[in-house]
Each structure stands twice: as structure tokens, then as C-alpha cells.
Structure 1
């Protein structure tokens, strides 16, 4: 008779995601994961196969969480400028219960060049984020908030690059005020 799982897979995946997010892939050992997730090593292997597979699932979990938060915040915005400000503020401040920065950016920097699966996930996540920014810019151009001097695609690439930079700098001891200035200048750049 097979033993039933004594843990909620979603809850332990959330714990693994936060640990990988905080420490990175290579610094996180299997012992760290077992201890942090609160499950037996055998259960970890039975459920997630191996550390790399668990890491990829953690990236997916991060993406689901991030995309849901971005979508909800943008939908609540009354103007394109408000939506863009929300995106920048979320990148700077994030949620209280998670490590600083962005798991996808961290993973791309750590492993992207030598791990095809991580690179593919990061590339896909960046494309989704840039698409969201492009939609906000297009919205702002249509209602006269944002400049039409550049195509929405070009402005989205520029803004996404600033957002990735902020997510990297968020992992350092740079003052929050500097990140706020970068966000303000980026938003002013696209305004009419």
C-alpha cells in the first residue's frame, strides 16, 4: 500500500521558491532544501525528482505569482501612467514576505548562459513582462498620456531594461531613493 503524502505540495514548493530566490541555485544544497521545506529527502525526490527539476518548478511558481500580481495591479489602474507607476513601484518594493529582487532575474544572471532550461524560462518571463509594458505604453499612447515619438515596442524595450536593472540593484545596498529616481525618470521619458 502506497504511503500518502504528509505535506501540501504547493506549500513546500513555495518554501523552496523563497529559498532559491534568496540564495540562488548553486548556493542552495539539498540539505538546505530538506530542512527549509520540512520534508524528508526521499519525499523531495519522489515529488520533485531532483534539485534542478525543483528549481525549474520554483521558477514557474514565481512566474505565476508575479504575473498574477502584475495583472491585478494593472487592471486596478485608471490610467496608463498609474499602471506604469504600479509596475515600477512593485519592482522597487515588492511584497513584504519575499526576498528582495526578482527570482527570474537572479536565475538568469546566475545560470542563464549555461543552463538552457533556465535561459528559456527567463527569456519567456522577460518577453511576458515586456509585453505587459508594451500594452501599458500603447494604452498611454492611445489616450494621449505617452509620447508617440517612439513606437510602443521601442519604449517597452527601454522601460523593461530599466525594470530589470532595478530588480538587480534591489539586491544591493543602494538606497531606495536612487531606485525611485530611476523609476521617475523612466516614466517622465515616456510621458508627452
Structure 2
């Protein structure tokens, strides 16, 4: 007879996600995960598989949470002018409150994408999704006359996404948040009419 799980899978996956986000893949041991997640080693393996599989699931969980947050932010926006600022400042300097600094997707891409095809694929897909959302917002603003049409919406989305990835990387350092916000704000000036 199989035993019922004595833990909430989503909650313990969130704990693993937080630990990977904070420490990175290589610095996080199975012992760290067992302790931080608060479950037995056997339960971890039975539920999530090995460390790499758990890491990929943590990346999926992170991406799902970010996408839900971005979608809510865009839907709440009455104008395109509101939406990009929520997008750019909201996730590129993620980790400002009680979350680890930087962004799990960017951190993972920098740490592992060169040698890990699965991480490369997940990172690239996440970046493509974010860039597409930016393109849609920019096009919305250009169509409604809120944003300059001096640049192609797709090319501008590529540029702003690149700025976002750079800022998310810089957020892992001791660079002051004010500087990161200043860079984001200057980059957003490309949208002005």
C-alpha cells in the first residue's frame, strides 16, 4: 500500500526554487535541499527525481510564477505606457524585497546554459516569451500613439529585453538599486514620442 505524501509538493518545490535561486545549481547540494525543503531524502527522490530534474522543475515553477505576475500586470494596465514600466522594473530588478537577488532564469543561463542543453532550452524559451510580451506592449503603445514609432517594435523589444537581462545580472552584485532603476528609466526613454 502506498503512503500519502506528508507535504505539499508545490510548497516544497517553491523552497527548492528559492534555494537554487539564492545559491545557484552547483553550490546547492542534495543535503542543502533536504534540509531547506524539510522533507526526507527518499521523499525528495521519489517525488522530484534527481537534483537536475528537481532544478528543471524549479525553473518551470519560477517561469510559471513570473509569467502569471507579468500577465496580471499587463491586464491591470489601462495604457501601454503603464505596462512596460511594470514589466521592466518589476522583473529585471527582481529580488528587491524578500526574494534572492537577480532572476533565476538569468542566473541559471549564466551558470549552466553553455554546458546544459535543458537549461539552455528553458532559459531561451523564457527569454523569448518575455521578449514577445515586450513586443506586444510596444506595438500597443505605438498603435495608440503613446510610444514613438521611430523603431520597429520587435527590434526595440529585443533591445529592452537585453537591457533587462543585463540589469537582472547586475542585481546579483552590490551595485545600488538606484543605479539599476536609473538605467531602466533611461532605456524606457526610447519609447517616448
TM-score of the alignment, normalized to the shorter chain, above 0.5: yes
The equivalent residue for 1:111 is: 112
Determine whether 1:10 maps to 2:10: yes
Cα separation, 2, equivalents of 1:129 and 1:94: 18
Residue 95 of structure 1 deviates from its aligned partner by: 6.4
Task: State the alpha-carbon separation in 2 of the partners of residues 81 and 159 from structure 1.
Answer: 14
User: Cα gap change, 1:14/1:93 in structure 2, threshold over 3 Å: closer, same or farther?
Assistant: closer
CA deviation digits over 1:109-131, x for unaligned, max 9? 00001000000000000000000
For structure 1, the 5+ residue unaligned runs are: none
Over the aligned positions, Cα root-mean-square deviation in angstroms equals 1.1
Alignment of 1:1-192 (within 5 A): 1-90=1-90, 91-94=92-95, 96-192=97-193
So what's the TM-score if we normalise by structure 2? Answer: 0.96
Structure 2: runs of 5+ lacking an equivalent: none
Structure 1 residues 174 and 95: alpha-carbon distance in aligned structure 2, compared to 1, 3 A threshold = closer
Aligned partners of 2:101 and 2:171 also within 8 Å:
yes
TM superposition shift of 1:52:
0.3
Q: TM-score, normalised by structure 1?
A: 0.97
Give the distance between the partners of 1:153 and 1:71, measured in 2 at CA: 19
How far, CA to CA, are the matches of 1:62 and 1:77 in structure 2?
23
Contact 2:94–2:103, Cα closer than 8 Å, also in 1: no
Q: Which runs of 4+ in 1 moved over 4 A?
A: none
- 3-state SS of paired residue (1:80): coil
Hey, what's the Cα distance between the residues in 2 that align with 1:72 and 1:50?
33
Cα distance in 2, alignment partners of residues 166 and 80 from structure 1: 22
CA distance in 1, matches of 2:62, 2:94: 16
Q: Distance in 2 between matches of 1:95 and 1:169?
A: 12
Separation (CA, whole Å) in 2 of partners of 1:114 and 1:94: 26
User: For 2:112 and 2:94, how far apart are their aligned partners in 1?
Assistant: 25
Structure 1 CA distance, aligned partners of 2:95 and 2:107?
15
